[in-house]
Amino acid sequence: MTKTLSIATWNINSVRLRIDLVTRFLAEQQPDVLCLQETKCPNDAFPHAAFEKAGYRYRTIAGIKGYNGVAIVSRLPIAPVEAREMCGKPDARHICARLGEGADAITLHNFYVPAGGDIADPEANPKFAHKLAFLEELTRFSETARKTDPRSVLVGDLNIAPLEHDVWSHKQLLDVVSHTPIETKGLMETIATGDWIDAMRLLSPEPKKLYSWWSYRSPDWDKADKGRRLDHVWLGKGLDGALKAGHFFRETRGWERPSDHVPVMVTLDLS
């Protein structure tokens, strides 16, 4: 296992449409591993050649046509582990790979949690009910991971901004999906159950504002700065003390035809 390991996560909102942005990010930042969500790409159409050319020879993917989809691409050897069907749905919202071998191995889970629609009522909105059920299953998964694999890393677009300063206005967004009390409470319970370390909040505690998503609906997203922290990196307790650095790549939101999410990257010191 390498002495340092950099892992990035990015909801790319179509890997084929934005492959030039992905390869630009890889060339500029050179993460060891990049986890993508919302690839919107069936497995047989994934742009392997572009990643191969960029030096990311190792890949594991789970995709379906037109929506969802997750992928892990790596410069380092990885071993595919599984693609879980969350809530019994084969909808490509999880992929897992292992880096390294033996006691030093790291298990990397890449999740894409359902957005949940616009109405924060599980009885009136099946999409929100699905999100809450997914969150409950994620909590059960976290308990198992804590007990069996404390050297796990969980990343992804979790579609919840759990803390007061993870959104531009806590008060105004309390009734808005992604920051409602039932969601934030559920995600914090997931973190506690898994004994996860919220990497970016460890590096930048509240009340510092942290955002990874800005809506396409804003005519001037940068000036308005009405963001939310929907993209996360969590470390298992077996990696306590390994976190060296972390960064939100806000500048990518200003690139041509961008995703509405930006990459989040952490560097671990495994020496």
pLDDT band of residue 231 (cuts 50, 70, 90) is: very high
| 245: enclosing H helix or E strand | strand 243-248
pLDDT at 135 over 90: yes
Tell me the CB-side half-sphere exposure of residue 105, using CA atoms within 13 A. 17
Beta bridge partners of 112: 157
pLDDT at 2 over 70: no
180-193 average pLDDT score: 98
11-23 average pLDDT score: 98
Model pLDDT for residues 159-179, shown as the tens digit of each residue:
999 999 999 999 999 999 999
The average confidence (pLDDT) of the chain is 97
Model pLDDT for residues 98-122, shown as the tens digit of each residue:
999 998 999 999 999 999 999 999 9
Report the percent of the chain where pLDDT is more than 90.
Answer: 97
pLDDT band of residue 1 (cuts 50, 70, 90) is: low
Residue indicated by tokens 């572009």? 50
Closest CA to 50 of 80, 18, 12, 11: 18
Give how far Cα 239 sits from Cα of 26, 136, 196, Å: 25, 24, 10
Closest CA to 211 of 232, 191, 234, 196: 232
206-230 average pLDDT score: 97
Beta bridge partners of 95: 110
CB 22 within 8 A of CB 48: no
Can you give the pLDDT at residue 219?
87
CB 74 within 8 A of CB 99: yes
Can you give the pLDDT at residue 271?
86
Rounded-to-integer distance, Cα 218 and Cα 109, Å? 32
Query: How far is CA 264 from its chain centroid?
Result: 8
- CATH ID of 4-269, from 1.10.230.10, 3.60.10.10, 3.20.19.10, 3.40.50.970: 3.60.10.10
144-151 average pLDDT score: 96
8-state DSSP, 41? -
8-state DSSP, 167? B
**Sheet architecture: strand order including 94-99:** 78-82, 94-99, 106-112, 152-157, 231-235, 197-198
CB 134 within 8 A of CB 113: yes
Residue indicated by tokens 């409602």? 180
Model pLDDT for residues 249-265, shown as the tens digit of each residue:
999 999 999 999 999 99
CB 182 within 8 A of CB 226: no
Angle between helices 126-148 and 181-194 (to 10 degrees): 10
Cα dihedral 195, 200, 204, 206 sign: negative
Rounded-to-integer distance, Cα 263 and Cα 200, Å? 12
pLDDT at 134 over 80: yes
Model pLDDT for residues 58-78, shown as the tens digit of each residue:
999 999 999 999 999 999 999
